[in-house]
Amino acid sequence: MSDLTEKDTPDTGAHRAQGVRRGGGAPGERGRTTIADGVVEKITGMAARDVAGVHAMGSGMSRTFGAVRDRVPGGAKAGVTRGVKAEVGEKQTALDLEIVVEYGVSISDVARDVRENVVAAVERMTGLEVVEVNIAVSDVKLPDEEDEEPEPRIK
């Protein structure tokens, strides 16, 4: 039998397999993960649209241009990000949303619900801390008002 202690034993693969790690830290914590602004914008757009009382995202003009872009092959920025701007740092994000609400709903309640839904979705999916969610209500959708999408030129 050998008189060597663990500290005196040569470093072999067997020791690494038993839990001695090289390279510092757990394997899941080595390296960096970056999240693009567009990823957070998509998550935010989906979460905001899920809230009752939100009719659309973006101003009337951006919705009109977006509808035209959506019809041009290869020209569409994802419609889900319309009306959403995200600033993403290493650990935090700040969000600006522009929404259109349905007539008759409480705007303050809808804004609160949007904030809660967006913060929960973004923090759960990205691990980023949402430091602020600014909401601009740009319009109210009246019951008898038609959507502002242009007529298709080709039928």
Torsion of CA 67, 69, 70, 71, to 10 degrees: 90
pTM of the model: 0.70
Distance CA 34, CA 30 (A): 13
Alpha carbon 22 to its chain centroid, in Å, reads 35
Print pLDDT tens along the chain (155 aa): 545 455 555 555 555 555 555 667 888 888 889 999 999 999 999 999 999 999 999 975 544 445 554 555 655 445 899 999 999 999 999 999 999 999 999 999 999 999 999 999 999 999 999 999 999 999 999 998 876 554 454 55
Tell me, what's the pLDDT at 108? 98
Distance CA 62, CA 45 (A): 14
